[in-house]
Amino acid sequence: MGNTASGAAFCTAAQRYSYASLRLERVEWRGPGLVMVKYRVLSEGFPLVRPGQFILFWVPGLEAIPLSPLYSDEETMVFLVKERGETTRSIVKEPPRFAGAIGPQGRPAEPRGERIAVIAGGVGVASALPVARQASLEGSETLLIYGARSAAELAPIESYAGGSRIIYATEDGSKGLKGTVLDALDGLGVSGFASIYAAGPNPMLCALYKWAQRLGVLDKLFLAPERIIRCGMGFCGKCNIPGTELLLCRDGAYLAAPSLTRWVEKGCPVD
């Protein structure tokens, strides 16, 4: 096992990034165009990746892509990866035996309150689950609503949920409630939730924004928009949220819904 001390890769006044080498421990699960993989962190001293943060996952011979670990501690990182392009396709097909991590990037989410709801659409659960786990471990009654098109696309996340109550929703009704995560949330009543965090496809986030606006609870909602990430370090401006000064890679992943009004008005674009 390597024991390379982590080195500071990039520094700003606010943030310090580190490197780590990762070694594949096992493939935990496969779904259609999806894989869940567990890596061992070989480098000592890599900072803990907090809920809401992400790393750049470097695939030898390809590129570094932003990934939120579904679970992470000093020794392991678990990732849920969905095929979207060349690099993710390669990971899903054959996860690299060795990979690199650069980070952490982004601003930690701080879910607080007696009752917290966390909404995850598809692979958005990789970003949402750590928020639910932290809230639950800190004593909040935490509800995680996890939705996908069908049961085959729902990753086995239970052992990483930290005591959160999980409600499943599938569009074809093959597991849990039949319908969308919004259908599931609608049936629960929102007045008791101190905050609602959501990660998933942008149309889902747009719908949640409008739902919260209608109910007058926009100030309780935090969204993790999907945007194209290029440098991942606040240099290039590619991940800017249209109509705002926000950079997703620096200020996200979770952003207060009222700050996203212009983005929603533009239809919640990815690019």
Q: Minimum CB separation from ligand FES for residue 103, in Å? A: 13
Q: Minimum CB separation from ligand FES for residue 70, in Å? A: 22
Site mask for ligand FES (CB under 6 A), range 131-170, x = bound = ----------------------------------------
The reply to whether 239 sits near ligand FES by the rule CB under 6 A is yes
Q: Are 39 and 63 in contact (CB under 8 A)?
A: no
From the list 122, 124, 147, 232, which residue makes contact with ligand FES (rule: CB under 6 A)? 232
Residues 57-86 that bind ligand FES (CB under 6 A): none
Collapsing DSSP to helix, strand or coil, 192 comes out as coil
Nearer to ligand FES, 123 or 239 (CB): 239
- Among 174, 64, 172, 183, smallest CA distance to 119 is for 183
Non-local CB neighbours of 121 within 8 Å, separated by 6+ positions: 147, 148, 181, 198, 199, 200, 201, 204
Non-local CB neighbours of 69 within 8 Å, separated by 6+ positions: 49, 54, 55, 77, 78, 79, 126, 130
Distance CA 3, CA 198 (A): 37
- Among 55, 51, 77, 53, smallest CA distance to 64 is for 55
Task: Give the DSSP letter of residue 47.
Answer: P
CA angle (244 as vertex; 241, 247 as ends), nearest 5: 45
Contact segment (CB under 6 A) with ligand FES among 84-92, 163-171, 196-204, 237-245 equals: 237-245
Q: Are 120 and 146 in contact (CB under 8 A)?
A: yes
Pairing of strands 221-224, 195-199: parallel
Nearer to ligand FES, 121 or 234 (CB): 234
The reply to whether 235 sits near ligand FES by the rule CB under 6 A is yes
From the list 55, 77, 184, 247, which residue makes contact with ligand FES (rule: CB under 6 A)? 247
Q: Minimum CB separation from ligand FES for residue 63, in Å? A: 13
From the list 230, 258, 265, 269, which residue makes contact with ligand FES (rule: CB under 6 A)? 230
Q: Minimum CB separation from ligand FES for residue 46, in Å? A: 21
The reply to whether 32 sits near ligand FES by the rule CB under 6 A is no
Burial class (CB in 10 A: 0-12, 13-18, 19+), 181: buried
Nearer to ligand FES, 169 or 248 (CB): 248
Contact segment (CB under 6 A) with ligand FES among 27-35, 126-134, 203-211, 229-237 equals: 229-237
Number of residues forming the site for ligand FES (CB under 6 A):
12
CA separation, residue 196 to residues 1, 110, 143, 149, 263 (Å): 41, 11, 10, 22, 19
The reply to whether 210 sits near ligand FES by the rule CB under 6 A is no
The reply to whether 234 sits near ligand FES by the rule CB under 6 A is yes
> Which residues lie near ligand FES (CB under 6 A)?
229-232, 234-239, 247, 249
